[in-house]
Chain A
Amino acid sequence: MKGYQSVRLGKDQVSLLLDKNTIVKLVILIIFTFGIFIVSASLGDLRIHPLTVVNLLFWGSGTELEQLVIYQFRLPRIFASMLVGMGLAVAGGILQGIIRNHLAAPDTIGITAGAGMSVMIFLWLFSDENYSLMVSIKWLPVAAFIGALLVAIFVYFLSWKDGVTPVRLILIGIGVSALMQAGTTIFMVLGPVYMASQANIWITGSVNSVTWSDVRVLLPVTIVLLMIAFISARNVNVQSLGEDIATGVGSRVQRQRFILLLISTGLVGTAVAFAGGIGFVGLMAPHIARKLVGSSFGSLLPVAALVGAILVMLADLMGRTLFLPSVVPAGVFTATLGAPYFIYLLMKTKNS
């Protein structure tokens, strides 16, 4: 096994096979991510020189205005973009592995829409007359997670007919998405008027209104789930071989599939709770990652995470700089890129 480095922790409970090629690419992607981070922090209504940004971030120099703009306005959304991108990308990668279908993604099989609807129900149930939440915002990702999970199970169950074919899964996903959107609209109409415009921004997917308090919830949850996902990568590898082989090599297929599904929906739920339905990231990022490092999930998932982060950060950067003074939600750009990509994948697909 030249070019590989194995890492074992504990009593072989956790083992990773690191590909040197992957590590090189990971490092490049990390540098790239950092570059976009700095550029993103420096661009906007008020332009701040990138070097000033670096100084400001590491040594706390800079004028009061610059500090305010960067710390209060830009950093929260940049962090959120990064985390949301990572979450969606890894969730998409896992889904593609366990469903064994390259067209699967949180949005194509309806999970995003499900999380969206349960967030609307949550806001509707727990808002008082002053439009403020009666319970802690920390419960929002929980609500989104429950919605995402229920829809995932629902779609999977409905698609079952002597097994699940990828095509049926996606068709049912389209149908269930439509149903969830109808539900979302009902709660928009039922809820206070201010919620409608909020919800609209949020359905398109945007990190516009993210604050530090959101990031404080988003960050730990996403990091923990990502860690679990990376550790479980080898299980995804086995799953992607198909049920028979997976059983044959001694994997507890059903249990692992369910755990992986939980991780994936958890990531989607968290992302959707704070940034709404930023579309197609979960579809594109794993594909791009597969082109870069191949389809072993140990390398694929971390690379996909970085690609996802870069995609959403770029989308947000474009959204708030290209059409000044208006701010376009990041979801518009990811869809502009992602929908043609989906069509391209579709064209390559063999007819079933």
Chain B
Amino acid sequence: MNGIFEWKNLGKVAVAIVFLALFIGMSIILGYTDTSIQLAYEAFTSFDGRNEHLIIQSVRLPRALIAACVGASLAIAGVYMQTLTKNPLASPGILGINAGASFAVVFVLSFFEVSSLNIFTWVAFLGAAIAAIVVYFVGGVGRKGLTPMKITLAGAAVTALFSSFTQGILVTNEAALDEVLFWLSGSIQGRKLEYLTSVFPYLLVGWTMALVVAPMMNVVAMGDDIAKGLGLKVGLLKLTVGMIVILLAGGSVAIAGPIGFIGIVIPHIARRLIGNDHRWLIPFAGLLGGVLLLAADIGARYIVMPQEIPVGVMTALFGTPYFIYIARKGFNKG
């Protein structure tokens, strides 16, 4: 770690911040209703109840902020899942955590009268936790324990199971269908700011914890044995990271539904750009995740104008080719 590299990394993070700000701005201005930079500026300085001002304040701004937060959370969760499982394909979507959280939310929505956003969030956490535990243990049994391959397939099986349950509930409960369907494919359209504010504290805790454990995760990345030899409590650390993943992925699902592939694409790109040092990787991946989801969301508004497609579909469209590329490359060179 010499000083020059740190400056270089700082520069990269600064560029990422600029990009994030740029995309938040674009997300506020672009869309079906034409607005301009000036209108956006006026909406915050001299609000006069005009249609455009209303749209900017009540629709575009929440949407941009939610995209940034959810994208960042999913990317960070993805980085840690990949480090923890030593699996380049690990991400909240692939390992079934999104599906678990979605199932829990749909289940509670259909069978109980819940309107409190807070309960909603905790339900999502619970679902994410159950899925994570199931996948971790199922992937870990058998000879040789937790291999990357096994955990990926276990994740696929758990995803199939949970999404089939979810569909089952939705089909028998058609009233709930319309509201939930769009959410289920991952969407940040029409989300009010309250959604974000009720979940934001948990996300903040997740981000902070992620940064705090970053130096220790550098050691774990070298292998459990080395980490133990250096006196780290690996078990406890892994549990903490598991909780971070559940907070971030579960929180994201509670706001935006299951959005896949951010957690798999961004960690790879971020690693390539800034290296494997988690102290830089985590904030950098978070920023890039925000940028990517903002970009995907802007794309989702234009691709079949005037209708919108769920942003989860957008991320799947560019995420799967990347997934296939990694799967072809194989696991050996991690």
Contact = CB atoms under 8 A, between A and B. Distances in A.
Interface of A: 103, 107-108, 158-159, 161, 167-168, 170-172, 174-176, 178-179, 181-182, 185-186, 189-190, 196-197, 200-201, 203-204, 206, 279-280, 323, 326-329, 331-332, 335-336, 338-340, 342-343, 346-352
B160 interface: yes
Contact of B170 (A161, A179, A200, A323): A200
A332 B171 CA distance: 10
Contacts of A203: 167
A185 B309 contact: yes
B226 interface: no
- Helix, strand, loop or mixed for chain A's interface? helix
Interface in B283-334: 304, 307-310, 312-313, 316-317, 319-321, 323-324, 327-328, 330
A171 B89 contact: yes
B161 A335 contact: yes
- Helix, strand, loop or mixed for chain B's interface? helix
A27 B259 CA distance: 49
Interface residues of B, number: 51
A208 B23 CA distance: 46
Contacts of B323: 174-175, 178
Interface string B172-184: 1110011001000
A329 B138 contact: no
B324 A176 contact: yes
Contact of A168 (B153, B181, B308, B327): B327
Contacts of A168: 327-328, 330
B171 A343 contact: no
A167 B221 CA distance: 25
In the complex, the 4 A-B pairs of residues with the closest C-beta atoms, listed nearest first: A335-B164, A332-B168, A182-B316, A339-B161
B156 A172 contact: no
A347 B157 CA distance: 12
Contacts of A335: 160-161, 164-165
B147 A346 contact: no
B171 A185 contact: no
Contact of B307 (A190, A201, A352): A190
Given A174-B323, A182-B313, A342-B160, 4 more contacts: A178-B260, A178-B323, A329-B167, A339-B161
A279 B143 CA distance: 27
Contacts of B260: 178
Contacts of A171: 89, 152, 327
A339 B168 contact: no
Nearest to B135: A343
A135 B178 CA distance: 28
Contact of A279 (B150, B153, B164, B308): B164
